[in-house]
């Protein structure tokens, strides 16, 4: 099998997501090439061909231009799979390429089993197995689903790509708009206690915030809690929130959907509190406490508050 991985370059940096795509390539043990609109000074390290277009000429994003360049690389490489990250770049570019190639597109892949791709469905409660029927297949891979390769110094063979003069611009990229920052920076917290949908109602955020305070940490939340406006967005952990790696992460009433895990699975020690002993969070938790958080957490918090010298 041959893969063409699509690397991303943003704000003058090569994004680390390419290392997860290379991890996927390792897992399927396939011949690998990479496509990048970027700079020769910041390239991914792997054994294979790097199809490189210059970012100064083609910009960091320009859908029609990048599609034309990628199609050139596909024409030369003839890969079986064209593999994107499940990111805003991938969401925009992958369907354009799949449509042009008349290829199947399988989005948000979290696993592969022989020639079947595993994708979440029903808000990540279930998993589907999908098989492509087309000669080429376009994939987007969910962040955190495949282990990133370790940094190394292997130099790829660089093949320069030029612009396709026939490509017309139908969409013009105007730039990035930074998300409003402010409030808490969870990335710096050593201890995070997070609230999931299992808290049941907004008043119960206080239970989670109290425990975080007793531990000398910060509180975070899963996306449904943020979407319900029970907690502000800058406390969301996961693919569309913050990525955190504290010493201790306490997940309260959080099922363990891949999008949440992607943002916290690098935590040093993970404790989960859940009424469901089979909740997927149990697969990565160091300790799973099977309990109703509304009963368990306040008792724990009270005990901790009375422990001398715990707060840092
Ligand atoms: C493109 C995309 C991006 C996403 N980005 C993110 C993201 O950044 N972050 C994120 O978190 N999610 C994200 N999601 C959503 C994600 O798929 C899940 O839907 C979400 O993480 C589920 O949140 P949850 O675990 O709080 O809720 P649920 O999945 O509903 O889980 C609730 C859990 O609480 C437990 N529970 C219920 N009552 C109690 C109780 N009394 N005591 C203890 N436990 C209890 C249940 O057993 C269950 O395990 C994204 C989804 C998509 C499609």
The response to whether residue 45 sits with its C-beta less than 6 Å from ligand 1 reads: no
| Average pLDDT for 103-109 | 96
| Average pLDDT for 252-270 | 93
Least confident of 3-7, 46-50, 159-163, 197-201: 159-163
What is the model's pLDDT at position 180? 66
The response to whether residue 231 sits with its C-beta less than 6 Å from ligand 1 reads: no
From CA 101, how far away is CA 72, in angstroms rounded?
12
Whether residue 306 is predicted with pLDDT greater than 80 in this model: the reply is yes
> How far from the centroid of its chain's Cα atoms is residue 21's Cα?
11
pLDDT > 70 fraction of the chain, expressed in percent and rounded = 96
The reported pTM is 0.77
Indicate the average pLDDT of the chain. Answer: 92
Whether residue 311 is predicted with pLDDT greater than 60 in this model: the reply is no
What is the model's pLDDT at position 165? 56
What is the model's pLDDT at position 307? 82
Ligand 1 binding pocket mutation candidate from 88, 90, 198, 227 (most atoms within 8 A of CB): 198
Q: Is residue 250 within a helix (H) or strand (E), and if so which, with residue range?
A: strand 248-252
Whether residue 188 is predicted with pLDDT greater than 90 in this model: the reply is no
| Average pLDDT for 113-141 | 91
Q: Which atom of ligand 1 is nearest to the CA of 238?
A: 8
Place of tokens 């390239």: 43
Cα–Cα distances in angstroms (integers) from residue 105 to residues 26, 66, 86, 135, 193, in the given order: 21, 18, 12, 12, 37
Place of tokens 């930074």: 178
What is the model's pLDDT at position 181? 62
According to DSSP, the β-strands at 269-274 and 248-252 are parallel
What is the model's pLDDT at position 171? 80
The response to whether residue 144 sits with its C-beta less than 6 Å from ligand 1 reads: no
Query: Residue 125 C-alpha to ligand 1 middle, in angstroms?
Result: 9
Per-residue pLDDT tens for 129-161?
Answer: 999 999 999 999 988 889 889 878 899 999 999
* Backbone dihedral angles phi then psi of residue 254, each to the nearest 5 degrees: -120, 125
- Best CA proximity match to 288, nearest among 298, 300, 301, 275: 275
SS3 letters for 170-235?
Answer: CCCCCCCCCCCCCCCCHHHCCEEEEECHHHCCHHHHHHHHHHHHHHCCEEEECHHHHHCCCCCHHH
Query: Residue 225 C-alpha to ligand 1 middle, in angstroms?
Result: 8
Whether residue 312 is predicted with pLDDT greater than 70 in this model: the reply is no
The response to whether residue 239 sits with its C-beta less than 6 Å from ligand 1 reads: yes
What is the model's pLDDT at position 182? 65
Per-residue pLDDT tens for 27-81?
Answer: 999 999 999 999 999 999 999 999 999 999 998 998 889 999 999 999 999 999 9
Structure tokens of 247? 């010493």
What is the model's pLDDT at position 157? 97
What is the model's pLDDT at position 178? 74
Whether residue 3 is predicted with pLDDT greater than 90 in this model: the reply is yes
Higher pLDDT, 255 or 185: 255
| Average pLDDT for 169-174 | 80
The response to whether residue 223 sits with its C-beta less than 6 Å from ligand 1 reads: yes
**DSSP E strands, 8-102:** 9-10, 13-14, 31-38, 49-54, 81-85
| Average pLDDT for 260-271 | 93
């Amino acid at each position: 099998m041959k893969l063409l991985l699509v690397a991303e370059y943003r704000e003058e940096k090569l994004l680390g997501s390419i290392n997860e795509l290379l991890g996927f390539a390792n897992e399927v043990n396939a011949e690998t090439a990479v496509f990048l609109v970027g700079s020769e000074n910041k390239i991914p390290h792997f054994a294979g061909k790097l199809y490189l277009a210059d970012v100064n000429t083609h910009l960091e994003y320009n859908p029609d231009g990048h599609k034309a360049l990628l199609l050139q690389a596909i024409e030369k490489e003839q890969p079986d799979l064209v593999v994107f990250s499940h990111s805003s770049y991938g969401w925009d570019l992958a369907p354009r390429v799949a449509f042009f190639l008349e290829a199947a597109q399988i989005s948000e892949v979290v696993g592969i089993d022989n020639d079947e791709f595993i994708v979440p469905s029903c808000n990540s409660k279930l998993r589907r197995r999908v098989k492509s029927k087309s000669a080429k297949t376009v994939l987007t891979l969910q962040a955190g689903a495949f282990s990133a390769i370790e940094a190394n110094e292997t130099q790829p063979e660089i093949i320069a790509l030029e612009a396709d003069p026939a490509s017309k611009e139908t969409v013009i990229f105007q730039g990035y708009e930074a998300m409003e920052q402010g409030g808490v920076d969870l990335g710096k917290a050593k201890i995070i206690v997070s609230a999931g949908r299992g808290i049941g109602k907004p008043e119960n955020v206080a239970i989670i915030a109290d425990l975080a305070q007793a531990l000398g940490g910060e509180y975070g939340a899963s996306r449904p809690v943020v979407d319900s406006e029970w907690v502000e967005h800058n406390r969301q952990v996961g693919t569309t929130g913050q990525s955190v790696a504290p010493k201790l992460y306490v997940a309260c009433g959080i099922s363990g959907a891949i999008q949440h895990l992607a943002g916290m699975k690098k935590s040093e020690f993970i404790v989960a509190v859940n009424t469901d002993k089979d909740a997927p969070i149990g697969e990565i938790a160091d300790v799973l406490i099977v309990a109703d958080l509304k009963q368990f957490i306040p008792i724990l918090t009270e005990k901790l508050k009375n422990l001398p010298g715990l707060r840092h």
